[in-house]
Structure formats: structure tokens, C-alpha cells
Structure 1
Amino acid sequence: MKKEKKDIRSLTKEQLRDFFVSIGEKAFRGNQVYEWLWSKAAHDFDAMTNLSKEVRQLLEEHFVINHIQVDEMQRSNDGTIKNAVKLHDGLTVESVLIPTFSRTTACVSSQVGCSLDCQFCATARLKRMRNLNADEIYDQVVAIDQESRLYNGIPLSNIVYMGMGEPLMNYKNVLASIEKITSPEGLGMSPKRITVSTSGVPKMIKKLADDEVKFNLAVSLHSAIDEVRTQIMPFNASFPLKDLKESLIYWYQKTKRRVTYEYLIWKDINDKPKDIAALVEFCKAIPCKVNIIEYNPIDDGAFQQADAQVTSAYQRALEQAGITVTVRRSRGKDIDAACGQLANKSSK
């Protein structure tokens, strides 16, 4: 019976060293392979040119590199790029490159589909099929960095875990991917340039604080009134705003880092003065910033962008309360790459 090959990127550096010792090779070969996998992002063993042909053959016999493939790449009129990324088992996720004059940001997926049921998000219409492994998240970043260098002539500067899936429902692999991306033995990126965006899972936000993570936290809030938030994000019934607020206070006490609230404004849903007042009140709990995002309809349904004067009213009220607020214009609309639109239309 043919022995199944092991995914080499599931091994630690120590396990790679042990493997080489077990086959009568020097342990330092494990260090070399680890560098090829995580610092140089090698896709196949033949690329590992400082290893002998025999050693590469041995690796080929024992292991596999389950590398992603960019199945389809779309470029928007505004320079945004969307990748349909095929995983080793044939499933597909999407990732996005968002270039602006001051930064280039990778928006990466952490799950195939999503287990939460936000009514306004296209990904939520796909059932959650599985979590991504750390290497599959890392590969998305490498692919986008290469595209940024190729098309914009500059390396990637920022990463947001804001693609398909809820990152905190794939906690272990998300943190492992960030460790690889930030490690000097990996891509060497500063954790200050990484933001994990969550729909708000209080228990896991507290765990982030306890684990003393160094990256930034963003919360997709969209309403500071429980009834409204539960209507648009039904899981809020299990994780109500008082629990979310308590976990964010805990986060700030532990990390001393402000949180960003992502906020979409919809017509007839959260566009009243009471919605604005509730958000201002919620923001007083800890130092924070509000990022108002232009909404991109996923069909002709209930969710439609609110009038511009409502956005201005939100902005005014927040600024008067001393809260930092930015309004983010939508990017990549023409290729369905904007916030809430990732849904694998490319996959059959």
C-alpha cells in the first residue's frame, strides 16, 4: 500500500531537523528546508538548490507542499486585484489586493465559507466548509505581495484578515499564520501592519488579549442597538453587545491598543438619529476609531447604501464626541471585490 505523504509545512523546524537526523543526514538540513518553505516561500522541492539531488528526492518521497494556486485573477479599473485561490483539495477562497497612494493592503480569507450568518454578506450564503490552514493563509499573502510588486512596483505594506470567514472561529491557524508572516524566519512583517477583523466573539477577543498578541483588532459593528444588530447579524443574539463591550474593555486594559469599529450604514436599517447616538455612546467605553465603509449591494434586496447626508451626520456626531472617524470609499466594485462581496462566483 502506498504511503500517504505528509504535509511538510505542518512540521516545526525541530521536527524537520529530527527527520533529517532519522535518515542519517545532518540536522542543519532541517533549518535549510524551513528557510525555503517560510522565508523564500518555495512551492516545490526542486527549487531548494542548496540541497543535493538525493536529499530533494527523499523529501519528494516523504512529503508534499500543499501550495495554493491563483485560479483566476481579476483587475479592477481602480487597481484592485481579486484572486480566486484554489486550495489543494479543490475548494476555492478569494483574496484581494487594495492599492492606495499610501499603502498596499492584502485582504485575506481564513475560512472556506463562513459559520456566521450576517444578512448583508455574500460569504455568509456559503456554508462553512472548513478552516484554512496557516500555510494557506500565508500563501495568499505571498501571492498578493508578488502581484503588488509586479503591477505596482512596491511590496505589500498591510494585511487585513477581512476576507471570507470569521478569523476568530479559526483561532489557532490564524495566529499560526501571523506568526509565520511576522517571524524573522518567515516574511518578517511587523505585526503593527496586520489587522484581524472579527464580527465580535467576546470569549475569543479576551483570549487574544490573554495571548498578548501584537497585531491590531477591528470589529464589524454596524449597529450599537441589540435589536438592530441581531436583525442584521443574527449571532448577536448569542453574543450581545454588553458582552462584546466587556470583552473590548478587557482587550484595552490588557493591550492598551485602541480598537477600530467597521461600520456600514444602510437605508431604513441604521440611519436614524437613535442609531448615531447609540454608536457614540458605545464608542465611549474605550479609545477607538470608527471606519465608515461604503456598502456594496450583493443583490437588489433590503440592504441599500444610506444617503450621503446620513454618513455626514454620523461623521459630525462622532467628531463632536472626540472620536476619530474615517469614511472609506469602496474599491473593486466592478469585480465584486468590495467589502461583503466575496463569494466565489468563480467556483462552480
Structure 2
Amino acid sequence: MIKNVIVGIDPGTTTAIAILDIEGKLLYLHSKRDWKREEIIKAILSFGRPIIIATDVNPPPKSVEKLASSFGCKIFYPEISFSVLEKQELVKAFVYKAKNEHEIDALAACVKAWKRYRSFFTRVSYLLSKKDASELFEEVIKKLLKEGKENVESIVEKMTRKREEPEERVEKPKEKGEKVLEEKEKKLEQAKKELEILTRVLSKRKAELLTYKRIKLSLEELEKCRKELEELKRANNILKRFERIRMKKFEPLVELESINSLELEKLDKLLGLENRVVYCNSLSNANVLNNFGIRALVTECEEEINVANLEFPVIKIEKEFIQDVDGVKCVKEDKLESLLAEVRKSGLIKWLENYRKRKENY
């Protein structure tokens, strides 16, 4: 069984070590020049585990503090550095074993620490032996020294009760690694399943999207057909009104806001512009009407127009002769015929005049 020991240190060029057990028995006393720290630790551990590291001076040397810290134990030092007489009194029982002042200093510190805590050690040892827990001596002593607890009985009771509680199973590194690996494999398997589900869902969504696109396309085509049907219905309605108007001896007019190729193509497709009379008060681009074989262009516009390039007559009419029948602008047939005759006659006269002028020039 490893002993619990008290160590006295006198550091310096020549370092001295004194070691006592908790019963005050001197186990080791030695000094050495240029003693390395590793060798000091090895020498101490060869006799036991230190619970107190002691020095004879205040403040304690840094090297002693570091040594106590490395062992995780309490450092003991006097309130006032020991005098020579005090040292001699402390070591008188062992003085014959000390070879120099360094060893006396180390031994004095060690004995002083032992005397300070002797009754304390005895009390703890007694209480632990009663509970058959002597192996806890070092742990209890270190706790009491570290925390400065005065109620020894309560600490011993607490420490022994803790020992009796079932220990939590500590997983071995191998078991822990296997458990982590097993958990990762489970997560990977779960991820694969989720990926399969997502793949199926995605495939289904793609099919739904394709169906939606087809439906959307069908709906767009249907909407287009619906609009075309509505236009055809409107055109059919207009054509019916045209027929009713003709039965009343009126000529229906195809009304235009302006002369536009696209609009004319649309009207030609729906109503058929060939041999129809067109009404428009904007004469720009009038030559575009040549492409549709209209019967005549009726206008209220006073603007002069060059009819030389037109393949249809242009009839300028007063507003009073244009009537509205069944929502359609129209002109009485006889009035239209008389106006056409005048235009043709006027055109013929102009042609004859131009012909004579050309002949005279020859």
C-alpha cells in the first residue's frame, strides 16, 4: 500500500529533502547539489504520495510552490521564517541524521508541518478505520486541507457515503467508439431512407408539374379558342346587322379609326373587306387599302388626298348623310350611288383634261 507522506524542502544550489510518514517516522533525509526537479519528484514518489509540501521560510520559494502544485497537495509554510533556535528544537530528535544546514532546514519544515496536522491525521484515520474506508485517507485529507473544512466527521461521512453509492458505468474508449460508429451508421441508414422518400416525392412532383404544364397549355389554347370564338360571334353579329341594314336600302360602312395594316388584316379575316365601303376620317396610309379590294372609302375629312395611286374612289360626304342603324354607320344606297357617280364623272373629266393637255404638248 502506498504511504501518505509529508515532505520538507530546502531549495537552492544544494537542495535538501526530508520525508516523514503521518505517524512522524523519518523515511528519508538527503541533500544534493544541482538536484534536478524530475529527480526530486522521483525520489519523493519512491517513498509515497505527498499530502503536504513544507518549507521553513515565508514567503515560500516559487520552486516549492510549483512542486506542491505538481503533486496537487497543500503547501505549508510558517507565519514567520524559522529562527536557528526554533529549527534546532524541531529537529533535536533527528539531529544526528542531518549532515548539513540544508537538511536541517528541510527537516525542520517537515516536522513543523507534521506537528501542526498530527491530531488531524489521527482523527481522520480513526474515523475512516471505523467505516472500513482507510483507502480514502489521502482523498479525505487533501479535500480537508484544500477546502479548509473543520468538521472532519461530516466530510468523512460524506466521502464514505459517496463510496457506497453505485458507480456509474464508464464506457471504455473502444465501447464508446463502437457506440458512436453504430449511431453514425443508424443516422446514415435513416438518411438513405429519407433520400429514397424524397426521390420518390420529387419524381411524383415532376410528373405533376408536367401534367400541370400540359393542362396550362391546354387552358391557354382553350382561352385562345374562346377569344377567337367570341370574335367570330361578334363578326357574325355584325354581318347579320349588315344584311338587315341592306334590306332597309342602306349601305353599311366598315368603320376605322385609322388605316392600319394589322387591323385591316384582322377585319378582312372576320368580315371580308372586298367590295365593302370603308369609313375613316384619317386618310394617312390610304394606299394600304389597295390590298383589300374595297368598293370605296367614305370620309368627312376635308383634307386633300392624292387619288392617283388609289385603286378605289374616295367619297367626301357631309355628316348629315351618315346615319346610324342598329349601331352601324351607314349611307342610303341611292345616295351612295349618286356620290359614286359624281366621283367617277369628276375623275373622268380630270382624266380627259389631262389627256388633252398631254395631246397639246405633243
Q: TM-score range by the shorter chain?
A: under 0.3
Greater helix fraction, Structure 1 or Structure 2: 2
TM-score by length of structure 2 reads 0.24
TM-score by length of structure 1 reads 0.25
Structure exhibiting the larger radius of gyration computed from Cα positions? 2
